[in-house]
Every structure is written in C-alpha cells, then in structure tokens.
Chain A
Amino acid sequence: MSDAFPIELAGLSKSFPNAGRVVDNLSLKVESGQVFGLLGPNGAGKTTLLRMLLGLVHPTAGEARLFGQPVRPGYRTLRRVGALVERPAFVPHMSGLDNLKLFWRAGGQPMRESHMDEALAMADLGKAVHRKVRTYSTGMRQRLGIAQALLGQTDLLMLDEPTVGLDPEEMREMRTTLRAVAQRGATVFLSSHILAEVEQVCSHVAVMDRGHLITTGTVNELVGAALSAYLEVDDTDKARQVLEGLQGIGPVQPEPPGLTVTLNGVARKDIVAALVHAGVGVETVTSRHRLEDAFLQMLASEER
C-alpha cells in the first residue's frame, strides 16, 4: 500500500446535464510527500475534481484512486484523508469545538484518535471556540475549517482554496502549516486560482482550464518555462536597441520604469552580459510573473 500513489486519476470525466463536460479526461498522479497545487481560473473544474476524489460526485467516466483504492462514497480509505471542500461549513447553532467533535465522531472514530489540541492551536480561536459558529467571522470559519481538515493528521490533505478569507499573517501561518504537514510525509493537494499562492507553497503543480489538464510538473520546471524577464537599466532606449539585436530573443516591451523581455529560452545572465558589454548599466533583473507567465501562456495557447 505504501507504494501506491496518494492520488491517481485515469481518464476521469464528469458531465452535468446543464453544464456539459466540467472535467474532461483527466489523468494525473500525485506522489507521496508532494505539496501539489491544482491551479486554474474559476470554473476550471477544480472543485468538481476534488469532489470526485472524495466520493461526493460520481464520475461520468474514468476512475480516481486514493492510495490505490478506487474512490467510492464513504469508503474506508477516507480515514486517511482530511478535506476542505469549497467553503468551510458548520452546524450554526453549535460551538466551534462541538462542531469539530461532531465532525470527528460522525466518521465513527473515537475522539482519542483525533489531534484536537493541534487542530485547536491551528484554528487559534481562543475562547471563541466555545461560541456558536454563527457568530464567527469569515476568517475564523476558514481557520476552523482548516483545523477540521487537519484533525486526523491524515496521510492526505485536500484543501480547496485554503487561503480565502485569511489575512496576510494567517496566510503565512497557513504556508508554514502546510510545509510541516508535508515534512511529516503526508501529501497535500490544494486547489487555487491564485498563482502566487501555488508558487510559494507547492512543490508540484497542475494547470487546469475548462475541464482540461493543460500542463503538470514541478513548480521549478514551470517557472523555468516562463519566458519573460523584467529589467531596469540606466539607459532604456539603448538597452532596447541592444536587446532587439540579440539572437533568439522575443519582443521587448517598455514597462516603465523598465523593460519586459520575452526570453525564448535565452538565459537572463546572457542578456545582462550583453547589456553590460554594450555599456548599459543594469540595476534590476527579475523573472517577472514566473508561473503567471506560464499560466497565461498556457491558457492563451489553449485558446488558439
């Protein structure tokens, strides 16, 4: 069992009567210990995919497996999974603590198998944990929802847009938590439409749009595939001339106060060398947009 993939999809598809193919022929493997980001714009089919992985939605075709076991509603392998599906949701007339307890006991597992103290520390609700959930703010609900997903310290954690409603400080904590989860050998599968989030947190990423898988790989690979760099130089006009004269380089566009260069595979250091050689002072070079570039390019090429 240990060598089975935490998540494995084979030709997974889902059609809805009124919405058509929401997920189209997805095949994907997520390996143990990865922090895997599912990136795509709203409506890409991320949530439907997540729901299929959890047995909430029945696939139209294909198969999903968790730890080698084909997904079925409510099956035993779900013991190894913690999940946040869309927004967190709680019984409004009960306290946060009671909600966590009920959630756990609803799985037929005794309380001593839960990690309540760690989960409560993550939720960081203080005394409010005894208040009715209906009095909670969005951020509090989000933290409680993530705590609920962490309650079992499961081998696989599935989180749908986990940082929605969190402030920057909470987002930072969230990232730390996810890294800790990955470090104890668990796998994290999270969906997001925010590139920066995926870039900062994930080791691997799959890009999805309108039900299709557009690309998948490590974040580093995909960032490496980004083709543009942003430069600030002391003489913009001259720099532009130099860059446009270089072999293999794509369009150069002014982006005050600097320039954006489409690299087409040319290394940044070669560009800098060329500029310096031509007597242009380079103040800043950054890989602009990085995954965002990759993301937008993939979506654009998909449209063509």
Chain B
Amino acid sequence: MIGVELRKQVWRLRTYLALGLMAAIPIIITLATRLGGPPHSERNQTQQGLFLLVTRSGINLPIAALVLMTGFLLPVVVAVFAGGAIAEEANWGTLRYLLVRPVSRSRLLANKLAVTAMLAVVATLVIVVVGLIGGVAAFGWHPVVIPVANGGLLVATLSPGEAFGRLVASTFYVAWCMAGLLCFAFMLSTITDAALGAVFGGIGFTIVSGILDAIPPLKTSRNFLPTHYFQSWNGLFQQPVATGDVWRGILIQLPYALAFLIFAWWWFHRKDILS
C-alpha cells in the first residue's frame, strides 16, 4: 500500500518542481564556477573558501551545495512534502475515501509518513548526486583539501574515496536533520485541511528555530533547538574529524520527531473526518 502513496506523490508536478529546484542549485553552482571562475571578494569568509575550493576538486561542489541548501531551501521542500501529506487529501476530499477502506488509520499514517520521509531523503540525495556529477564532470575527481581545526591556515587532504564516504555520511546526516520539522509539518497536516497552512507551519518552525539560534544570550539553551546542528556535518570535513556535534545533532531530532508523531497519531485517531 506504500506503492499507492508513492504512485500518488511521485508522478506529479509538485514533486518534479521540488526535486528540480534541488537539482537546479548545484547545476547553477557548477556553471557559475566553471564559466565565471572563483569569486574574488566576498564578505563571508567561509563561503568564499568553499567556492575557492570547488575548482580544486569536483567533490567540493556537492559539499558547497549541501551547505547552501541545508539552512532553508531543503527545509522548505521537506515542509511542502510533509505539510501536504494528509491535509491535501482532506482538501481533495479523498481522505474520506481512503478511510472507508478496510485500513486502520495507523496504517494510513505510517504509509504517508514513510513516503514523506522517502521524498525528503530523495530531495537531499538529488542535491548531492547532481552536485557530485556536475562537480566531477567540471573539475575532476581529485583529493579534497580540508582545514585543520585551530590550525590557522594549515590544511590537510582527503583522498577522493575518503571524501566521498564522508559526503555520503553527511548526506544522510542532513536528511535526518529534517526529521523534526518533517514531523512538525506532518502533525499540522493531520490537524488542518489546508495543506498550505501546514507547509507554512513547517517553514515557520525552521525560521523561528533559526532566529532563536541567532540570539547569543540564549547561550546553551540554543543547543536544544532543532536547527542548531544543521551544519555540524562540516565537522566531518576537518582534521581531526569532529563528530561530537554530529551525534548531538542526530539525538536532538529524536525528541522533536517523537513528540510530534505521537501527537499526530493521537489527534488523527480521535479526529472526526468531516472533509
């Protein structure tokens, strides 16, 4: 029955557009860096460094793309998938026809959640895969230069194979980081019949968490924000590898995801389907 949901969600304009957007950004980075060369003056040091490195090895390109997309565009796309999951069916009126079939509401929720999660993972993969193909095609499969932690200008190199392995790990880390906001938008989707409301809720969730994270006086309480560790996979691309924040980033999603899912499940079971 997951096939039913996949059939419904994959072959449609919305999914093409969302995944197309995920592919477009790394393509634009590839073309711009290839045709325009590395940037000369940028205000942002890290980003400048990022794009300087892109020309050194194609593997740097998906890394740059992932840095750019993790903060906002990927969460938006995930919110679109998750916010639409149930609310859109309610909006179409098809939710009642799904529920007059001999299928429990838990099963329906589980199927919907599985397909939403799959789409979120695919969206993340598209960024990295397109970035990698474009990057390697334009700049080659070379060792990756990475900074040494607290080493000033010291750098180390990773073999392409090693860098690729860490890239794969980073991809799944970023995809998992979407869990909290995905479950939040999914929960809203069981509550409202307006899919757009649930989508904007998910986006708002990311924005609010991002804003709180930018208030230094909040100190360590910021460590509990769901978006706080979004970029912690960068620690995999330094010498020595910093995995502490990666593990914290993985763990921090759990309470959010679980809480939202439990509420979604409880709400959906007691809900009167009037759509």
Query: Are A107's CB and B3's CB within 8 A?
Result: no
Cβ-defined partner of A90 (8 Å) among B92, B100, B103: B92
A76 proximal to B (CB < 8 A) = yes
What are the residues of chain B within 8 A of A78 when measuring CB–CB? 100-102
> Which stretch, A53-61, A115-123, A296-304, touches the partner chain B?
A53-61
Residue total for B at the interface (Cβ-Cβ under 8 A): 27
Of all chain A residues, the one with the shortest Cβ separation from B111 is A106
A interface with B by C-beta (< 8 Å): 16, 51, 54-58, 73-79, 81, 83, 85-94, 98, 102-103, 105-109, 148
Residues of chain A lying within 8 A (CB to CB) of residue B96: 51, 54, 56, 85-86, 89
Specify which of A76, A89, A92 is in contact with B97 (CB 8 Å cutoff): A89
B103 contacts across to A, CB distance below 8 A: 74, 106-108
B154 interfacial by beta-carbon distance below 8 Å:
no
A74–B102 CB distance below 8 A:
yes
Report chain B residues within 8 Å CB of A89. 92-94, 96-97
Q: Judge whether B8 and A94 touch: CB under 8 Å.
A: yes
Residue numbers of B with Cβ under 8 A of A are 1, 3-4, 7-8, 12-13, 92-94, 96-105, 107-108, 269-270, 272-274
A79–B13 alpha-carbon span in the complex (Å): 33
Q: Which of A58, A74, A148 interacts with B272 by CB under 8 Å?
A: A58
- Known A54-B100, A56-B273, A102-B7: A90·B94 in contact at CB below 8 Å: yes
When distances are taken between beta carbons in the complex, the residues of chain A under 8 Å from B98 are 106
8 contacts between A and B (CB under 8 A): A51-B96, A54-B99, A57-B273, A74-B102, A75-B102, A91-B8, A94-B8, A102-B7
Q: Identify the closest chain A residue to B13 (Cβ).
A: A93
Does the CB pair A85–B3 fall under 8 Å? no
Q: Which chain A residue shows the least CB distance to B104?
A: A74
Q: Are the CB atoms of B92 and A92 closer together than 8 Å?
A: yes
Question: Closest Cβ of chain B: how far from A43's Cβ, in Å?
Answer: 14
Question: Is B102 in contact with A148, judged by CB distance below 8 angstroms?
Answer: no
- Name which residue of chain B comes closest to A93, CB basis: B12
Task: With both chains docked as a complex, state the minimum distance between the C-beta of B95 and any C-beta of chain A, in angstroms.
Answer: 8
Q: What residues of A have a CB within 8 angstroms of the CB of B1 in the complex?
A: 105-106, 108
Q: Shortest CB–CB separation between residue A52 and chain B, in angstroms?
A: 9
User: How many angstroms between the C-alpha atoms of A102 and B1 in the bound complex?
Assistant: 9
The answer for the CA separation of A51 and B94 in the assembled complex, in Å, is: 14
Question: CA of A215 to CA of B7 in the docked complex: distance in angstroms?
Answer: 47
